[in-house]
Chain A
Amino acid sequence: DAGITQSPRHKVTETGTPVTLRCHQTENHRYMYWYRQDPGHGLRLIHYSYGVKDTDKGEVSDGYSVSRSKTEDFLLTLESATSSQTSVYFCAIKGGGARETQYFGPGTRLLVL
């Protein structure tokens, strides 16, 4: 493993409730990413961070927000969960060099009823 943990690993919630997923790294990498993975769509980027308090949107950012107050933690929040946000969420980390590799966490399986 690349020193990445995600919590929770599984979550069931109801439509309209807020949900926060946490990604924690021990590698002190600059870049952190949130992806979702759905059948037929592959991995799609939600948001990413290039430093503390520096974040930007990916291709499927609607309905999601992120925060990074410390280098090691990157939080993904669903302000009001919808059934379309049922998915598996992966966090990834990468060093600052342009040729460095993204390494992925174990994933969080989220079910929105």
Chain B
Amino acid sequence: EDQVTQSPEALRLQEGESSSLNCSYTVSGLRGLFWYRQDPGKGPEFLFTLYSAGEEKEKERLKATLTKKESFLHITAPKPEDSATYLCAVQEVQGAQKLVFGQGTRLTINP
């Protein structure tokens, strides 16, 4: 059974204080690993897809990396507007292109 575990559950940082969020996964064959951002009261917003170990993608202050067992979302010099819940999900090679989500990391950036 596919499993996705995100840590920490919550993270509070000062503005400009860089950190990383972790997503550990267990899947029989990985087709893709997805990162989403979710603001309160809204639907998840797509950030990145990673397909193979060693791959990296960047967008503004965010960089996502992937190994064979985990993914990291690095946040460099965050701003208060980066406060959100960050969700990780995996899609396996077999099956009908379904996503299995972790429980998310709630990130708060204090000014």
A42-B104, A43-B101, A99-B49 known; A50-B96 Cβ under 8 A: yes
Least CB distance from A56 to B in Å reads 6
Determine whether the beta carbon of B96 is less than 8 Å from that of A90.
no
In angstroms, Cα B97 to Cα A42, docked, is 18
Determine whether the beta carbon of B49 is less than 8 Å from that of A41.
no
In angstroms, Cα B36 to Cα A89, docked, is 17
A40-B103, A99-B49 known; A104-B98 Cβ under 8 A: no
In angstroms, Cα B87 to Cα A49, docked, is 23
Least CB distance from B31 to A in Å reads 6
Q: Which of A43, A48, A50, A99 contacts B44 (CB 8 A)?
A: A43
Determine whether the beta carbon of A31 is less than 8 Å from that of B44.
no
* Contact residues in B for A50 (Cβ distance below 8 Å): 96
In angstroms, Cα B44 to Cα A33, docked, is 13
Determine whether the beta carbon of A90 is less than 8 Å from that of B43.
yes
* Contact residues in B for A33 (Cβ distance below 8 Å): 98-99
Apart from the given pairs A42-B101, A42-B103, A101-B34, 18 other A-B contacts in the complex at a CB distance below 8 Å: A31-B97, A33-B99, A40-B103, A42-B102, A43-B99, A45-B100, A58-B98, A94-B97, A98-B97, A99-B31, A99-B49, A99-B51, A101-B46, A104-B43, A104-B45, A105-B43, A106-B43, A107-B42
Q: List the 8 closest A-B pairs by CB distance, nearest first.
A: A104-B43, A42-B103, A43-B101, A42-B101, A104-B44, A106-B43, A107-B43, A101-B46
